[in-house]
Amino acid sequence: MMTASASSSSLADRLPRVRGGYESMADLGRMTWFRVGGPAEVLFTPADVTDLSAFLKAKPADVPVTVIGLGSNLLVRDGGVPGVLIRLGKAFNNIETDGLSLRCGAAAVDANIATAARDAAITGLEFLTGVPGTIGGAVRMNAGCYGHEIQNICVNATALDNHGELHKLSLDELGFSYRHCAISEDWVFIGAELRGAKGDPDAITARIREIRAEREESQPTQSHTGGSTFANPAEAKAWKLIDDVGGRGLVRGGAMVSDKHTNFLINAGNATSSDIEGLGDELRRRVKEKTGISLEWEIRRIGVTAMDPRALVKPS
Give the Å distances, CA to CA, from 84 to 29, 50, 75, 78: 16, 18, 17, 16
Q: Tell me whether residue 298 is one of the annotated catalytic residues.
A: yes
Q: Tell me whether residue 179 is one of the annotated catalytic residues.
A: yes
Q: Residue 3: beta bridge partners?
A: 313
Neighbouring CB atoms inside 10 A of 142's CB total 20
Q: How big is the CA angle at 246 (ends 245 and 248), to the nearest 5 degrees?
A: 125
Cα Rg, the chain, nearest whole Å: 20
- For residue 24, count CB atoms less than 10 angstroms from its CB and return exposed for 0-12, middle for 13-18, buried for 19 or more: buried
Q: How big is the CA angle at 308 (ends 297 and 295), to the nearest 5 degrees?
A: 15
Tally of helices (H runs) and strands (E runs) in the chain? 8, 23
Give the Å distances, CA to CA, from 231 to 47, 137, 170, 223, 284: 34, 15, 25, 20, 12
Of the candidates 228, 258, 273, 274, the residue annotated as catalytic is 228
Pairing label, strands 65-68, 81-87:
parallel
Q: Tell me whether residue 228 is one of the annotated catalytic residues.
A: yes
Q: Which of 256, 252, 241, 250 lies closest to 293, judged by CA?
A: 241
3-state helix, strand, coil in the chain (%, to 5): 30, 30, 40
Give the Å distances, CA to CA, from 220 to 29, 126, 163, 215, 228: 19, 21, 40, 8, 10
The distance from CA 130 to its chain's CA centroid, rounded to whole angstroms, is: 14
Of the candidates 87, 118, 179, 284, the residue annotated as catalytic is 179
Catalytic residues: 179, 228, 298
